[in-house]
A = this chain, B = another copy of it.
Amino acid sequence: MQFSSSLLENAVNEFAKLPGIGKKTALRLVLHLLKQDTGDVQHFSEVVARMRSEIKFCQRCFNVADGDICSICANSMRKAEMICVVENIRDVIAIESTQQYNGVYHVLGGVISPLDGIGPDQLNIESLVHRIEKEKTTELIFALNPTIQGDTTIYYIQKKLEANPATASPLRITTIARGIAFGGELEYADEMTLARSLQNRLPVERYVR
């Protein structure tokens, strides 16, 4: 693409670095900003820069936070003894959006994946064990994606907790339910999901609310 302004060209190139945004989309976004008030664009730019420079990670659960402790950990109405283990911040946002979970979180920062060079030491696993030792955790809920890496991570953490007398019991370890999604069609479900959802069938009174 040929631009007659280097200011425009630089802005398009910066937007085109974002994931899923090509040159044409970047140009559309930049031309949109060009039509907005200078003050609005200034505000956009400041909010983005502040987000990156001022955001912190919760010292307890590694979720994003405005201070040292995130608003979920700081909320005394939530059950601190129930920890939901997730891969990343996006999963926290997804679960929070259901408005059905009242415990706290622990963000691993990924899952164990030797092929990608991610071992247990790169993840927030040690801090999770310390947390369970120190806080009186009664339930650990794994909400990881159902992949081999996710299952390996669950297995690894479970073994680690069992081997440690301070965390071995009476901790209840669960995973979120796998099965046919609401709105999903049986005939299009993969065999694994369908087989598991048959094995883990529920009494109807627990299904109908």
A5 touches B49 (CB 8 A): no
Query: Which of B19, B53, B96 is in CB contact (< 8 Å) with A29?
Result: B19
A51 touches B33 (CB 8 A): yes
Confirm or deny: A59 has a beta carbon within 8 angstroms of a beta carbon on chain B. no
Confirm or deny: A1 has a beta carbon within 8 angstroms of a beta carbon on chain B. yes
B34 touches A51 (CB 8 A): yes
Q: How many Å from the CB of A32 to the closest CB on chain B?
A: 5
Confirm or deny: A146 has a beta carbon within 8 angstroms of a beta carbon on chain B. no
Bound: A9/B66 CA distance, A: 11
Contacts of A1 in B (CB 8 A): 93, 96-97
Look across to chain B and name the residue whose beta carbon is closest to the beta carbon of A52: B41
Contacts of A19 in B (CB 8 A): 28-29, 32
B49 touches A45 (CB 8 A): yes
Known: A19-B29, A28-B20. A5 touches B48 (CB 8 A): no
Binding site for B on A (CB under 8 A): 1-8, 10-11, 14-15, 17-21, 25, 27-34, 36, 38, 41-55, 58, 63-66, 70-72, 88-90, 92-93, 96-97, 99
